[in-house]
A and B are shown apart, each in its own frame.
Chain A
Amino acid sequence: MPQLTVDGKTYALGDKESVLNCLTRHNISIPHSCGSGICQSCVVRAVEGKPTPASQKSLKPSQRERGVFLACSCVPEEDLHIQLGDEASRTFSTTVLSLKKLSQDVMRLRLNCPSDFKYRAGQYINLHHPVAGTRCYSLASVHGLDPHLELHIKLVPQGLVSSWVHNELAVGNTITISEPLGDCHYNPDKPDAPMLLIATGCGLAPLYGIIRDALHNQHRGEISLYHSSRSKTGIYLYQDCEGLQAKHENFRYIPSVSEDEKIPDGLHAGRSSDLALQQHRALKDYQVYLCGEPEMVNTTKRKAFLAGASMSAIHSDPFVYFSPTN
């Protein structure tokens, strides 16, 4: 079995044991959250030995070159000498600019955008809670268009971080965020491609940012946004999306509710994914964006692919939105 050296001490790795599990087993605590290679909280650096390709796959080339890898995704094939607390994971300190309820359970959190924070709308960040760890949230704001960063945070029953944002955080508070992550964002190289964006619940946040980014970049192809919620109280940013539709000829907004018995004026009946795929049957050359409940995302990914969308043109957030299951 390969061995792991940290701070001058050497530990034997167990069979198929990840670096993170080995560290935890020896009471060496490092930040971590998702345990599945997504949140990038557990970055460490190899100073000797080669980390596995899987543990570096989602990192930037510059990080890979420096030996940075994800401890949770690395089951070493050779001896590794690692360094903790590396500058690998860049964090930013920022302040709360405003907090505004967009619906019963969605809070819009605006943060000061640090001067060297470069991102694309639709990417996500880790928000650090002083005790509970980190959670991923998508950026709904647009770099170059909005002076602030914007997140939409859904109140989750028993959710430590979301209830902290909803009930305790105040304007002027200082908080820590990660650098922007992920590649679910607008692609400026395809200005004529039709874009199909499908969201449930708070999955609207990244898509709202991506759409404004696309329109800001004078996207020429048709842009269709389908957003659904179980009931009409979950349809937030309605006025804003209607406003965008009135202003831009190539943008269509189709909000819907899936469980209300009476369908309110201006809304459609059904799930966003069903309506979208009924109205767009051939998806060759489309850019498809899927955000929201994992079940919807996974099912729709497959259907969109079978309807002709290329795998590389289907974008979705890798993390799970925390949403009540009932």
Chain B
Amino acid sequence: MSDTLYDKLGGEAAVDAAVDIFYRKVLSDDRINRFFEGVDMDNQAAKQKAFLTLAFGGPNSYSGKDMREGHAKLVKEQGLNDEHFDAVVENLGATLQELNVPAELIQEAAAIAETTRADVLGR
């Protein structure tokens, strides 16, 4: 039996290593950091961890409904759109590159993240 993507990436330890790097990139990215103004950072870091666990193909409790409800206000009131979604996926890729993850695994993770696009953008 072959290892899952989550195992190959290194499981929860890898997520922990990635979450600071990823969250720092997101907060430093002027295309998307306005969506994070005034949010509780500890809560947000926990959400980033849940998102990365999902993108790593790990055990997660994120449902499409959560994704939809969690972002509905941002879509409606702050114009969250494809460009912003692309920026997040780009930051995910850059984070994994920084952690020396092989390109094919980065693509797999990006493909999983991609599956949430419709829910996140409320389509």
A-side interface residues toward B, CB under 8 Å? 298, 301-302, 305-306, 310-311
B42 is an interface residue with CB less than 8 A from chain A: yes
Distance from A281 Cβ to chain B, minimum over Cβ atoms (Å):
15
Distance from A2 Cβ to chain B, minimum over Cβ atoms (Å):
18
Q: Is the CB of B27 within 8 A of A311?
A: no
CB contact list, B13-42 vs A, under 8 A: 19-20, 23-24, 27-28, 41-42
A302: chain B residues at CB < 8 Å are: 27, 41
Partner of A310, one of B20, B28, B41, B42: B20
- A-B residue pairs in contact (CB < 8 Å), sample of 10: A298-B41, A302-B27, A305-B20, A305-B23, A305-B41, A306-B28, A311-B20, A311-B23, A311-B41, A311-B42
Residue among B23, B27, B41 with most chain A CB within 10 A: B41
Known: A310-B20, A311-B19, A311-B20. Is A301-B41 also a contact (CB below 8 A)?
Answer: yes
Q: Is the CB of A305 within 8 A of B27?
A: yes
Q: Report the separation of the CA atoms of residues A310 and B17 in the bound assembly, to the nearest whole angstrom.
A: 10
Per-position contact with A for B26-67: 1 when CB-CB < 8 Å, else 0?
011000000000000110010000000000000000000000
Q: Which 9 A-B pairs have the closest CB atoms?
A: A311-B45, A310-B20, A301-B41, A311-B20, A306-B27, A306-B24, A306-B28, A302-B41, A305-B24
The closest CB in chain A to the CB of B38 belongs to A298
Q: Report the separation of the CA atoms of residues A305 and B26 in the bound assembly, to the nearest whole angstrom.
A: 12
The closest CB in chain A to the CB of B16 belongs to A312
A311: chain B residues at CB < 8 Å are: 19-20, 23, 41-42, 45
Query: A306-B24, A311-B41 given. 17 additional CB < 8 A pairs?
Result: A298-B41, A301-B41, A302-B27, A302-B41, A305-B20, A305-B23, A305-B24, A305-B27, A305-B41, A306-B27, A306-B28, A310-B20, A311-B19, A311-B20, A311-B23, A311-B42, A311-B45
